[in-house]
Amino acid sequence: MSTLFGTDGIRGVAGEPPLDPATIFRIGRCLAVQGCRSLVVGRDTRESGPWIEEALSRGFTDAGARVTSAGVLPTPAISVLCRDSEFDAGVVVSASHNVYSDNGLKFFTGQGRKLSRRQELALEALLESDHASVRVPRPPGPSPPALIRTDPGCLGKYSRFLRSALEVESLEPLNLVLDCASGAASQVAPRLFSDLGARVTMIDAPPDGRNINRDCGAVHPRRMARVVVEKGADLGAAFDGDADRAILADHRGRILTGDHILFVLARRLLERNRLPTRRVVATVMSNLGLEAALASLNVGLVRTRVGDRNVLESMLEGGDALGGEPSGHIILGEHSLAGDGILTTLKMAQVLIQERRSLARLSAGLRLRPQVLRNVIVGRRGRDLLDDRRVRGRIESVQELLQGRGRVLVRCSGTEPVVRIMAEGEDREQLEACVEGIAAQIRSSRERPAATSGTRGQEPS
């Protein structure tokens, strides 16, 4: 079991292990030692991004390999660059939807895919070995230009990729509201959609290094939804800090999750004979309502563990064209190997043009069941707490209560020090009580010695 990697790369507080300069330097060196000779690095707008990128690059070049800095770019752009260029690997310096004081490292292979769990474990084992500690970071100063270079053309390459995915000549006369979360999307989305003919209203503040995701973006989409109504817009999109996901709003201001997006895109692909397996891949977090709505189209739903990497692996294994998560990570297999919020919004705008119907009408066939979500802060004790027999007992009692009418899922987050609780069913008040009961037991067990049951906790992603 990896202790360094979570659901999506390495994440933590910038400046603290494992995101301290020395460890980051060694991670860069380990990538090169593993055989990677050419690396592309992108980052979001956090104030810690530049020094983390520098530490990583110096570690990589310390082993004689080359680094190309792509600057501020969305995470999926690095996947595109890895697929279409000469790079052996890519790294994104980002903590996605987390607060500005956090940061992280997301890794891509030269084929544009996230590292597999096996590859993560191999990198972690090398990092823990003596071999990774042979050299120490050089003092600050200019780096050899032959080993570290900046390529401002990376932004243009990604923009051309996005344009190539559009199947209509223009997005005119759509009226859009975009919330770029003061993050990486601000480098791409406003100009892209404007150049394609849409009227664009931006609502997030210009990035200042600390305002990324602050009361905005995919985690806080309600302001975006209100502005959609105020502006009479056709569609609103809220991206997260690194723009690998998007939450949408229709013209009525109703917030639409990744489940809505999957339903709309699945039906469109099905009508155009571009859903060959008649399946959509989602995670255990997707609403039971999505499963029922797809079934009405004679389309199946395959569920995976949480994480867009797991979704992609299932898609590639089964030859599926569409997958995603309720959080807004959507993978369009025809175009990309990564969740891409900007591409998703572009394709949804395309559907509005082609169908000449509102997003509210297009998504009307999906009725979500009540779902209650709650996070409980647990620090590093999450998995131990899910082994606690008192917590397990409370979870099992809720499972028995909801049997046949709903479900409960309790898991450790792979990106934050919390346990996530989800209950789904028919009665929201009942679900609220069930979730609060589990949360209260976790908080109580957190303050007392563990009473282990000998079984592992659920869904560790």
User: Would you name the residues annotated as active-site residues?
Assistant: 96
What is the C-alpha to C-alpha distance for residues 303 and 324, in angstroms, rounded to an integer? Answer: 10
**Cα angle 131, 137, 139; round to 5:** 160
Phi, psi at 247, each rounded to 5°:
-110, 135
Name the 3-class secondary structure at 108.
strand
**246: exposed, middle or buried (Cβ count in 10 Å: 0-12, 13-18, 19+):** buried
339 near 330, Cβ under 8 Å? yes
- Is 119 within 8 Å of 241 (Cβ atoms)? no
Cα dist from 220 to 95, 216, 245, 261, 299, whole Å = 16, 5, 13, 18, 31
Q: The tokens of 112 are what?
A: 């544009």
Pair of tokens at residue 431: 């679900």
| SS3 at position 226 | helix
CA dihedral defined by 285, 286, 288, 289, rounded to 10 degrees? 150
Q: Which tokens is 68 given?
A: 């190309």
Rounded to 5°, the CA angle 13-14-18 comes to 75
230: how many CB neighbours lie within 10 A of its CB? 11
Distance CA 258, CA 3 (A): 29
On whether the CB atoms of residues 80 and 88 are closer than 8 A, the answer is no
Cα–Cα distance measured from residue 243 to residue 110, given in angstroms and rounded to the nearest whole number: 21
Q: How far is it, in rounded angstroms, from Cα 199 to Cα 195?
A: 9
Q: Half-sphere exposure (CA, 13 Å, Cβ side) for 53?
A: 27
